[in-house]
Structure 1
Amino acid sequence: MNPKIQSISISQSSPLTVLDIGFVSPLATGWKETCAAIKAGYDAFVYPHNSAYSSIYPIARVPFDETIRGFTRLAHLLRLAQENLDKKYGSMPVLLAMPETSRGGLISETATHDALFDAIATLPAFHGKFLRDQITCFYQGRTSFAHQLHKAHEILLTGDYEQVMIMSVDSLLFPQTLNAMLADHWDCDPILNKQRLLTNDNGDEHTDGFIPAEAAGIVVVGLAENHSPAIQIDGIGFGDEPAPLLSKNICKGDGLAKAIRTACSQAGHSLKDYPVRIASVSGEQYFFQEATLAQERNISTKTAHQPLWHPASGIGETGAAVGISMLAMAIDSFQQGYAPGDKAICHLSSDNSDRAAFTLTYKH
C-alpha cells in the first residue's frame, strides 16, 4: 500500500495547466492520432506470431522495431513520445512513472530504476535533459499519474521552477512478465481463482480479462497563474480501497468514491457537474463495478447521462502510462468539440488499494 497522501487544495492554491503533451501508443505515434483512431472505433489488438498462445491471447504492441526489447524498448517509447511534443525543452524537474516492481519479471525498485535510466541515458534525445539524482520515480501503477501531478504541484509552489516534466512509460509485454502472467500462479489467481488475461479460444473464451499492451507519454505542466491556460487541472484526490482486486472481501467502491469526492471538492464542484468520466478500467469486471459504485456514492440526484470513457478499449492495458492517455483523450475531446461539456473527471485504480482522481476544466 502506498504512503498516505496529504491532499492539497489545488484549485485554491492555483490549478495546474497543461503546456505540452506527447504520447505514443499501439495505435499511433502521437496523442492526436491515437485519440482520432479510438474515436473512429479502431483498436490495436493483434495475436502474437510464433507463440503457443498466438490464437488465444491478444496483445497490443507499439508498431516500431520489434528487435528492440526490454528497458531499451521503454526508453525508445519515451523518445517517440518526446518527438510528439510541440516544443524542445531544456533541463527541468522530471517525474518518471514506470512499471510496478511487484509485477512478474521485475526485481526491485532500484534495479528497475537503474535499468531504465541507463537505457534512457544512451539516447541522444535525452542528453542534458536531467541528471540521475534530479529525477523522481513513481511505482504506483495506474494511479502514478495522479501522484506525479500532486508532486509537480508541490514543486511548482515551493521551488524556483515554472515547468515540470511528467514522463510515464510501461509495457506488459516483457517476456518475463508475459511468462508470469501465463503461469498457473498468475493465470488463475490463488485467492480468487481468477484469470487475468482476455482470451479467445474457439468457444473457450474468457471475457473478464485485459489485453496487455505498452505506451509512453510526456506532459509538461505549470501553474495556471503563470501561463495562458486552456486546460486546467483543478482537483486531485486520493483514497485507499479496503477490498482491492485480490481481496476476499466485497468491494464497495469506498476508496475510489473518496478520491472522486476529494478531487471534485477541490475543484468546487460535485460529481454530477461533470458530463463525462474517463477511467483506467481495461476489461476486468471488478474495476467497472467499482467505477459504478463510486459514481452512485457521489451522486445523490439522478443524472440523465454521464458516459464512462476508457482508452484501454483501443490501446489495451498500459499500466502506468494510462493516466496520460486519459488526459490526452480529454484534451482531444475538448479541442475537437466532441466533449459533452467543458469539464471532465478522470479516475484511476491500481491492482492494490491505491485510488486516485483528478478533474479538468477547459478554458475556451
Structure 2
Amino acid sequence: MSSGVHVIGGGAVTPVGLNGPQTCAGIRARAVRIEEVFRTAPFGKPQAVARVPAHWTLRRTPVGWLVNLAARAVAEISARHGLDARRTALVAIPPEPFRQAGFDDPAAFASFGWAIAARTRLPFRDIRDVAQGGAASTIAGLRQAAALLASDGIDHVIVGGADSYVIDEEYVRLDAAGRLRTEGTAQGLTPGEGAAFVLLARERPGDTAMSLEILGTGDALEPQSATSSEYSQGRALVAALRAAASAAGLAEAAIDWVVSNGNGERYASWEALLARARYYRTRRERLIVHYPALSVGEIGAASGPLALLMSAHGFARGYRPGSVAMIELASEGEGRAACVVRAARRRDGS
C-alpha cells in the first residue's frame, strides 16, 4: 500500500459510546458496560455481554441490527465532515464467512455495503464489500480505499465494519469450544457488538485535529487459528508485523506503542505473547499495548477500524508516546494483519 493515505476522522457505535468521540473517551477512561442476559440454549443460563444500549425494536433481526449500527456510524462521519457522498466511496467489512450462518439472513452479507448505504440514504460514488470479513480484513479494506482514492472523482473513502457476538448461536458455538467467558471459564472472550468506520483521504486537511498517515500494511494466514485443534505459534502475526514495518520503511525499534484487538481469550493471549517476544526485540522499559476489547468486548469486524480510531485519538489527545504506532489485528479464523501508522503533523510542525 502506498503512503500518503490519511485517516482524518471516524465514527463508531459501541457499548461505551454512541458516536466516535464518546467511544474513544469511554475506552480511554476504561469504562466497561457489561450486562447479564439470559440464553435460550440452555434456557435461562446467564451470560455476560457488552451490549449497545438500544430500543428492542432496532434489534428485530441480527443482520438488520448490524446495518443499523453501521449506518449510524457512517452517517456520523458524513455529517461531521460535510462530505459530498457523490465524491465518496464506502467499503464495508462484514463478519467472517464461517460465522455468517449464525445470523438470520447470511445471504444479506453479499450486499452489506449496499444495505448500509440504503439505510443512510447517501448516494455514494462507489460501494464495495470486503469478502473475507473479520478484523484482519481491515487491511484489505484499506488497500481498496487506496486504490479508490487514486481514481478520478473520489475524494474520500469510508472504511469499516459492524459485527456482533451477542447472539445465541455464537454463545453455543464458543461455549462448546471452551472459549466463552463464563463462571467456569475465566480466560474466555466477552461477546460484544458494535460498528466502527474511519474516513480516509489522500491529503490531510490543514484544520483537522485527528489525522494518521498509514505508512505500511501487512497480512498473513495462520493455519493454527482459534478454530483449529492446535495453538498458534504466532508465525503469521510476526510475518504481518514484519511486512507492515518493511512497507513503512521502519525498523522495529521505531514502534512507540501498540493497539491490539486481543480479546482476553486464552488462545489470543498465547499467540500474542509468542509473536511479540519474537518481533519486538529492542530493549524497552515497557511496551505499551492498548486493548479496546477490555471496554467493548469482542466486536469482530469492527475491531480493526476501532483500533485505528483509538490510535488517532491517542496521538491527537497526547496521551500516548511518540508518533508511530503498530496496529495488530487477529481474526477468529486464519487472518492476521498489521498496520503501521504515524501521527500526521501540520506544515508548521504542530
Superposed pair shares fold, TM > 0.5:
yes
1:362 pairs with 343, 346, 349, which one? 343
Structure 2: state its 5+ residue gaps: 346-350
Residue 95 in 1 paired to residue 74 in 2? no
Tell me, yes or no, if the aligned pair for 1:47 and 1:58 is still in contact at 8 Å.
yes
d(CA) in 2 for partners of 1:255, 1:282: 18
Q: CA deviation at 1:50?
A: 8.2
Task: Give the letter for the 1:62 counterpart.
Answer: V
Q: CA deviation at 1:114?
A: 4.3
2:348 maps to which residue?
none
1:73 maps to which residue?
65
Q: CA deviation at 1:139?
A: 3.5
- TM-score between both structures, scaled by the size of structure 2: 0.86
Tell me, yes or no, if the aligned pair for 1:280 and 1:326 is still in contact at 8 Å.
yes
Q: C-alpha deviations, 1:64-86, integer Å up to 9, x for none?
A: 22221222222221232134322
Structure 1: state its 5+ residue gaps: 1-7, 190-194
Q: Secondary structure at the match of 1:58?
A: strand
d(CA) in 1 for partners of 2:231, 2:39: 40
1:148 pairs with 135, 141, 147, which one? 141
Tell me, yes or no, if the aligned pair for 2:139 and 2:337 is still in contact at 8 Å.
yes
Q: CA deviation at 1:87?
A: 1.6
d(CA) in 1 for partners of 2:93, 2:144: 12
1:32 pairs with 21, 27, 37, which one? 21
Count of aligned pairs between the two proteins: 334
1:82 pairs with 61, 74, 78, which one? 74
Q: C-alpha deviations, 1:154-182, integer Å up to 9, x for none?
A: 222355523212131111224xxx2x234
Q: CA deviation at 1:138?
A: 3.5
d(CA) in 2 for partners of 1:50, 1:150: 39
1:172 pairs with 148, 151, 165, which one? 165
Q: CA deviation at 1:145?
A: 1.2
Q: CA deviation at 1:282?
A: 0.8
Q: CA deviation at 1:355?
A: 0.7
Q: Secondary structure at the match of 2:306?
A: helix
d(CA) in 2 for partners of 1:237, 1:115: 25
Q: CA deviation at 1:227?
A: 4.8
* Same amino acid, percent of matched pairs: 26
Tell me, yes or no, if the aligned pair for 1:275 and 1:305 is still in contact at 8 Å.
no
CA change 1:310–1:164 in 2 (3 A) is same
CA-based RMSD: 2.5
Range with greater deviation from structure 2 (42-51 or 257-266):
42-51
d(CA) in 2 for partners of 1:119, 1:235: 28
d(CA) in 1 for partners of 2:257, 2:89: 32
- Greater share of strand residues, 1 or 2? 2
Q: Secondary structure at the match of 2:199?
A: strand
Task: Give the letter for the 2:244 counterpart.
Answer: A
Q: CA deviation at 1:234?
A: 0.8
d(CA) in 2 for partners of 1:74, 1:259: 29
Tell me, yes or no, if the aligned pair for 1:347 and 1:358 is still in contact at 8 Å.
yes
- TM-score between both structures, scaled by the size of structure 1: 0.83
Q: Secondary structure at the match of 1:102?
A: helix
